Amino acid sequence: MYFPYFYGRQMELLALRDLATDLAGWANIVPVIEPVMAKPGDLGRCLSELQESRSPAYLIVNPSQGQLRDRVPEAWGECVAQFIPNGSLLYPAHQVSTEDDASALLAFYRRFPDRRVAVVLRQPRIAPEDLAVQVANRDAIVFVHTSANPRAYLRGLPAGKCVEVAASFNALARNADYNGSEWFSSSHLEFVNDGRAGFSDFGPLPTTFSLQGGQAGAAAIHLTYRNDDGALWIQHFVSDTTDRDQGDPTSKIAEAVAKVAAEVDANPEKFVESAGLRTLLANLVLELGGNKRQQLVHHLTTVAVCLGETECPPTDLD
């Protein structure tokens, strides 16, 4: 099972909406959503489409990052509440970052009795052995971020109930610094033998996020693909223009897309023919958020192929 970890920014929610119908059929891909925006409109529309298509997902119901760092607006809570009644495929998740979060875990379990739930550990505020007791007889899974010392929880919790949220993407400070291909992950080959419920990462995005936009120096496209040994690799395509004061996002994305097209032409069997890749190659992406959106769509489709969920032919530009 793959649990891609999404922050609830517009472009990520749009990627989930793009694939809502596919996700309903991909039994082994269930996203985890950590909301970060105070206005619930984009999140509500995404959850509505996932619900309509019968696509399961985990949703953190006590968010504490981004615009929700200091306070969760009442309208946000009301929006989310309508999607998580009994029988819903939207599974509530409780995030643990502070001691107060850890103290509130028991109340969270009582709030959602007999429901499939998740605990998301950002900080190690609860001992592995105590958490193991809490989830032992529940339909629960624990997602452990790198900041929470995953090794201790992977040892201390039942193997089938603990998943590390890995930092698979090697994030660099500047888009201009990306180059070539590099190893991404082999978790999809290992989790079954390890007895794990699945694996998780942020896809082709960094583990941290910023709500602040800015002028891009370079545009970068990061595309995952399955290597000959079955492992996932990622190839980076960067615009020729890398100066913040030159060009615009649309022209820079087009420069990066030209390099993608050349690679696909030279190696047509490398990338699966995802909707995301087709959209990029058609030069339909005009802004940076849309660029990331299509990369996510491509990544999820690629993992689906690796897990045997769908068959995608090699990309054929002809």
| pLDDT tens, the chain, 318 aa long | 999 999 999 999 999 999 999 999 999 999 999 999 999 999 999 999 999 999 999 999 999 999 999 999 999 999 999 999 888 999 999 999 999 999 999 999 999 999 999 999 999 999 999 999 999 999 999 999 999 999 999 999 999 999 999 999 999 999 999 999 999 999 999 999 999 999 999 999 999 988 876 678 999 999 999 999 999 999 999 999 999 889 999 999 999 999 999 999 999 999 999 999 999 999 999 999 999 999 999 999 999 999 998 665 444 433
pLDDT at 216: 80
pLDDT at 225: 98
Residue among 231, 192, 165 at smallest CA distance from 5: 165
pLDDT at 209: 84
The one-letter amino acid at 48? S
Q: What is the rounded end-to-end Cα distance, in angstroms, of the chain?
A: 34
pLDDT at 211: 81
pLDDT at 77: 92
Beta strands in the chain (DSSP E): 5-7, 32-34, 57-60, 90-96, 117-121, 140-145, 162-166, 180-185, 200-201, 220-226, 232-238
CB 200 within 8 A of CB 28: no
As a whole number of angstroms, the distance between CA 18 and CA 21 comes to: 8
Residue 105, φ and ψ in degrees, nearest 5: -60, -45
CB 314 within 8 A of CB 269: yes
